[in-house]
Amino acid sequence: MVSVIAMDGPVASGKTVVGREVARRLGFRYLDTGLMYRAMGWQAVNKRVPLDDAFALARLVVETEILLAEDGSGRVTVDGQPLGAELEHPDISRSASLVATVPEVRQAMVAQQRVIAAEGRIVMVGRDIGTVVLTDADLKIYITASVRVRARRRWREIQAAGQEMDFEQVLRDTEARDHRDSTRADSPLRAAVDAVTLDTGEMDIEASVQAILELMDERKTGGPEGP
């Protein structure tokens, strides 16, 4: 039985929206681990901790309580304070990817994520879920698309949120975040060796969801031809 699904991928690959929908259809819990790093990035800015001070960030993570809903609602609280749209701001995307380079921050997040996953029936989404957090996951998906396609999606999201940003700027930010996420020393973004790669460049959300549900069926029956 497939009970734990790990989904990783770069910025705006579609992993969040696709992962949430897969979880909804299966009646599984859903956890977007990016929100935990965003919450931590927000807390660092809020507490005026310099984003290049790894020592101070390591201390801050110990003092901070981040709680994330497991129902797909994306509800997050930091030390009891509910956060929402502010976590999607481009400045917080940047601070999240900076705090995420600090090993002590990652260790704290990973420990919390493993406790949440232990009960099973979950789709967990992030950058290092298949490679580090849940190496024994029943199904690992690496979801991706070209950087231009992803930057265009991100740009549309920013527009929809009523924020103004030049497309070229979004493209540069996406490239910078990809670079930082995939070259950091601790848990760089990459596909696990046993992950199935899904390129969503030419796929809409429904097609991506269907592809994953089919992979689940194959795992249950022992392969495309059955047992």
Q: Which residues bind ligand C5P (CB under 6 A)?
A: 11, 33-34, 37-38, 93, 96-97, 100, 126-128, 177, 181
**Alpha-carbon gap, residue 205 to 77, rounded angstroms:** 28
Instruction: Give me the least distance between CB of 4 and ligand C5P, in Å please.
Output: 15
Instruction: Give me the least distance between CB of 15 and ligand C5P, in Å please.
Output: 7
Given a contact cutoff of 8 angstroms between Cβ atoms, the answer to whether 5 and 194 are in contact is no
By C-beta, is 14 or 126 nearer to ligand C5P?
126
126-147 burial, b at 16+ Cβ within 10 Å, e below that, comes to bbbbbbbbbeebebbbbbbbee
Strands 139-144 and 29-32: unpaired
By C-beta, is 34 or 72 nearer to ligand C5P?
34
Instruction: Give me the least distance between CB of 161 and ligand C5P, in Å please.
Output: 14
Instruction: Give me the least distance between CB of 80 and ligand C5P, in Å please.
Output: 22
By C-beta, is 103 or 201 nearer to ligand C5P?
103
- List all residues 6 or more positions away from 28 whose beta carbon is below 8 Å from its beta carbon: 5, 22, 121, 122, 123
By C-beta, is 26 or 92 nearer to ligand C5P?
92
By C-beta, is 72 or 126 nearer to ligand C5P?
126
By C-beta, is 19 or 28 nearer to ligand C5P?
19
Helix, strand or coil for residue 163? coil
Instruction: Give me the least distance between CB of 185 and ligand C5P, in Å please.
Output: 12
**Helix H or strand E encompassing 9:** none
Instruction: Give me the least distance between CB of 223 and ligand C5P, in Å please.
Output: 29
**In terms of Cα–Cα distance, which of 167, 133, 169 is closest to 153?**
167
- List all residues 6 or more positions away from 98 whose beta carbon is below 8 Å from its beta carbon: 41, 51, 52, 180
